Amino acid sequence: MKLFFQTAVTVFALALGLAGCNKGGDSAVLAKVNRTTITLADFKKQVQDLDPQVQPVVATDAKARKEYLDQLVGYEVALQEAKRLGLDKDAEYKKRVDTYREEMERKVQEAMKFELLSNLVKKELANKITAPTDQEVKVYYTKNITRMRTADGKKVSLEQAAPVIKDRMANERQRDAFVDYVKSLKAKATISIDEKVLASLGADTAAPSAHEGLQKPSAATAAPAKEEAKAKKEEPKK
What is the C-alpha radius of gyration for the chain, rounded to an integer number of angstroms?
A: 29
Q: What is the mean pLDDT of the chain?
A: 80
Mean predicted confidence (pLDDT) in 97-101: 96
Distance (Å, rounded) from C-alpha 31 to C-alpha 68?
12
Residue 15 reports pLDDT greater than 60: no
Which amino acid belongs to residue 6? Q
Mean predicted confidence (pLDDT) in 32-54: 91
Would you kindly state where each structural domain of the chain is located, as residue ranges?
A: 8-89, 125-193
Distance (Å, rounded) from C-alpha 66 to C-alpha 152?
47
Residue 5 reports pLDDT greater than 60: no
Distance (Å, rounded) from C-alpha 131 to C-alpha 174?
10
pLDDT digit string, tens, across residues 213-235: 444 444 333 444 444 444 444 44
Percent of the chain with pLDDT over 90: 59
* SS3 readout for 23-38: CCCCCCEEEEECCEEE
Residue 3, C-beta contacts closer than 8 angstroms, at least 6 positions apart: 54, 57, 58, 64, 67, 68, 71
Residue 43 reports pLDDT greater than 80: yes
pLDDT (0 to 100) of residue 132: 94
Residue 24 reports pLDDT greater than 60: no
Mean predicted confidence (pLDDT) in 110-126: 93
